[in-house]
Each structure stands twice: as C-alpha cells, then as structure tokens.
C-alpha cells in the first residue's frame, strides 16, 4: 500500500468508497477504541516494521465534477481520485493552475493536507475549499482556503488540526485557456529562457513528467530508485542572516560551488525568509547520488530521495534519515525536516 514498500501489517483495514463507508469506519474505530490512521495513495508514508495496531482507513472515494464559466472552471474532486489523473484531466480541458504538479503520486485528498507543491506551483493557489469529515463528531464540514492554514508544504490538517479530520473532497479553481507557469529553473532550462512560441499546458505537463522521471520522481515499475517517498526532506526556510552565514561557510568549505538560495514567497509568513536547497546541503555533506547503506541508500538520480534498494526495513530507512540529518547539522548547522508521514513509531 506504500511506494516505499516497507512496514508491518495493519490490525484492521478498510477501503471506504463512499462518505457513509468512511463514517462507518470512523464509528467502528471509536466504538472499539482503536487507533485510526487515514491512508491516501501511500506515496508520502513510512510505516513502522511493527505495523499499526489499529484501523487503517484507505480513502477510496472517486470521481470529479465540473462547473464554471467562460473564464474559470471548478474541479470538485473526490479525495481518493488519483492526483495525476486529475492534473491530466485539467490539462485536457485546457485549464491552468496545476500543470506543474504533474507526475506527483498519491490522491487528491492528500494535496491540501501537505499543501503539495512542485516546479513553482502549490495547490493552495487553486484550492477554494475542502470538504472533510470531523472524526470526533461524524459531521461533514467545509473549510475555505483561509481556514485551511496553508503555509510552505503544510496546512492546519497536518499541524493544529492533525488527526481531527478526514478529507472527503477538494475543490480547485482553474483558469480556462490559462497560460502555463514556467518559473522554476528546471522548466526554464527545458524550454529556454525566452521560447519563440510559448509552450502549451500539455507541453509543460509532459516536460514536468520527463524531468521527474529523470530524477526518479515518477513511479516506474521495476525502477528501484522509485521505491521511495519522493523528496524525503523539505527545503529549509531560514532568515536572511542565517542564509548569509551558511553561504559564507559554503565558500570556505566548497569554494567554487555556490549555495542555491531562493526568496521564500509566502504571503502568510510574518517575516521574509530564504529557502535553501536541501539537496545541495545533503550532497555537500557527503551524501552523493547512489550512496548506499546496506539495503537503503540515496537515489542515483536525486539526492533528496531515500530509496529501498530491496529488502529494506523501516528501521533501515530511519537509520539513514538520522545519519543524513546529523551530518547536515554538523556540517552546516541547518536542521532538515522530513516530508513523509511516519506511522506506527515514535520519532522526535
């Protein structure tokens, strides 16, 4: 059930294909005093070797409905709808807003939880509201964009409201005949800084998927570099002064190699921050592509992906995670924070 392919069994498991089935599962867990874990696509999850002693509820609600006018279109997507299918659908209908999020595994229901983003776009830019089941009461509630508490790679659903709601449906507002966004460096390089003919939404989608595949960030059967949770660490957000400190240190330690740093554009931030490249920090701390630690290692194509080379356990993955975090902190004085959800074990 996970792209990492590690972890033990669930004591109870149910796949809910309707909102009523989801409510029934929540009621069953409460009635029997079972811990409850909500599973989406399993692409951003590390499950402990001991498994999970409660009920795992896989959200299998599917379907997309549309409504709109000449300028915009609303996509009402059930939470279990495969995310990349939804992106493909939007591009086919020539609607802009999520084309740069192509190729990301998982389901639509997971996108608001983590405020999924890539290649210059975030879902928080297009989500109008999220319909969710309140676990404690069994009520269905609707949250508008502001009520979701979106920030960089997170939301209230995995922070202040963590474990309180199950996403049932997400509504995205996309622009008809919109212009694709080409702001990310990899896309600019792919198309050239000033292409003679602006690329179409479909061409941008294809480019993103090609770039992701070149970094083993596209699920391809048989590719061991795909047995991962994608980017394992978030790009650190630091103050300008801290970024200057790390940059000065980088000039001493690796002369000639410039530290990648970008302005963190987030209107919700109280003060200006700088985004550092986690991949650069990891690689310059000694973890190059292809690094191995027994059955786990670093992807041969992407420094930020920890991979299961075959036969790995969750403990192996955690050990490598800890090793990378410690070394990066020792070398650069920067704390790396993981992106995946950890299920079934207690981590600091």
pLDDT digits (tens, 9 = 90+) for 277-295: 999 999 999 999 999 999 9
Phi-psi region of 163 (alpha: psi -120 to 50; beta: other; left: phi over 0): left
Q: Looking at residues 134-162, what average pLDDT do you find?
A: 95
More confident residue, 303 or 265: 303
More confident residue, 265 or 290: 290
Is 153 in contact with 304 (CB distance < 8 Å)? no
The predicted structure's pLDDT at residue 267: 44
Residue 247 known to be catalytic: no
Write down all domains in the chain, each with its CATH number in brackets: 64-214 (3.30.465.10), 236-276 (no CATH)
DSSP state letter for 107: B
- Share of residues in the chain with pLDDT > 70 (%): 97
**Catalytically annotated residue among 102, 124, 231, 299:** 231
Strands of 17-162, DSSP E:
36-39, 45-47, 52-59, 64-68, 72-78, 95-96, 117-118, 121-122, 127-134, 140-144
The predicted structure's pLDDT at residue 217: 73
Q: Is the pLDDT of residue 183 over 70?
A: yes
Q: How far apart are CA 269 and CA 262, in angstroms?
A: 15
- Residues 50-94 have pLDDT tens digits of 999 999 999 999 999 999 888 999 999 999 999 999 999 999 999
DSSP state letter for 201: H
Q: How far apart are CA 341 and CA 338, in angstroms?
A: 8
**Catalytically annotated residue among 125, 134, 153, 277:** 153
- Residues 249-259 have pLDDT tens digits of 999 999 988 99
Residue 70: burial class (beta carbons within 10 Å; 0-12, 13-18, 19+): exposed
Q: Is the pLDDT of residue 11 over 60?
A: yes
Q: How far apart are CA 306 and CA 16, in angstroms?
A: 30
Q: Is the pLDDT of residue 220 over 90?
A: no
Q: How far apart are CA 30 and CA 150, in angstroms?
A: 29
Q: Is the pLDDT of residue 153 over 90?
A: no
Residue 231 known to be catalytic: yes
Residue 271 known to be catalytic: no
Is 62 in contact with 17 (CB distance < 8 Å)? yes
The predicted structure's pLDDT at residue 108: 96
Q: Looking at residues 240-246, what average pLDDT do you find?
A: 95
Average pLDDT over the chain reads: 92
Q: Is the pLDDT of residue 48 over 50?
A: yes
Selection from 125, 120, 113 nearest residue 40 by Cα: 113
Q: Looking at residues 12-29, what average pLDDT do you find?
A: 96
Phi, then psi, of 268 in degrees rounded to 5: -85, -10
Is 334 in contact with 235 (CB distance < 8 Å)? no
């Amino acid at each position: 059930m996970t792209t990492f392919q590690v972890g033990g069994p669930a004591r109870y498991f149910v796949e809910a294909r309707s909102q009523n089935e989801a409510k029934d599962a929540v009621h069953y867990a409460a009635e029997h005093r079972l811990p409850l874990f909500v599973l989406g696509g399993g692409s951003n999850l590390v499950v402990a070797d001991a498994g999970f002693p409660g009920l795992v509820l896989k959200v299998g609600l599917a379907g997309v409905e549309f409504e709109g006018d000449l300028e915009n279109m609303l996509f009402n997507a059930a939470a279990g709808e495969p995310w990349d299918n939804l992106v493909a659908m939007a591009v086919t209908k020539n609607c802009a807003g999520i084309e740069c999020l192509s190729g990301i595994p998982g389901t639509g229901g997971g996108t608001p939880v983590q405020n999924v983003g890539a290649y210059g776009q975030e879902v928080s830019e297009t989500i109008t509201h999220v319909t969710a089941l309140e676990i404690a009461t069994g009520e269905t509630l609707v949250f508008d964009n502001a009520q979701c508490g979106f920030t960089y790679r997170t939301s209230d659903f995995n922070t202040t409201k963590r474990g309180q709601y199950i996403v049932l449906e997400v509504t995205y507002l996309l622009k008809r005949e919109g212009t694709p966004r080409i702001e990310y460096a990899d896309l600019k390089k792919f198309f050239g800084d000033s292409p003679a003919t602006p690329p179409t939404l479909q061409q941008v989608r294809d480019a993103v998927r090609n770039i992701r595949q070149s970094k083993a960030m596209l699920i391809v059967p048989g590719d061991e570099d795909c047995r991962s949770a994608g980017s394992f660490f978030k790009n650190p957000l630091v103050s300008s002064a801290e970024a200057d400190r790390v940059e000065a240190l980088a000039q001493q330690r690796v002369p000639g190699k410039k530290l990648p740093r970008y302005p963190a554009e987030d209107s919700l931030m109280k003060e200006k921050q700088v985004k550092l490249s986690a991949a650069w920090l990891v690689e310059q701390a000694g973890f190059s592509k292809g690094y191995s630690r027994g059955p786990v290692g670093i992807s041969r194509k992407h420094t930020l992906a920890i991979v299961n080379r075959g036969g790995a356990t969750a403990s192996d993955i955690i050990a490598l995670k800890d090793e990378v975090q410690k070394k990066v902190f020792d070398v650069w004085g920067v704390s790396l924070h993981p992106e995946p959800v950890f299920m079934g074990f207690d981590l600091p």
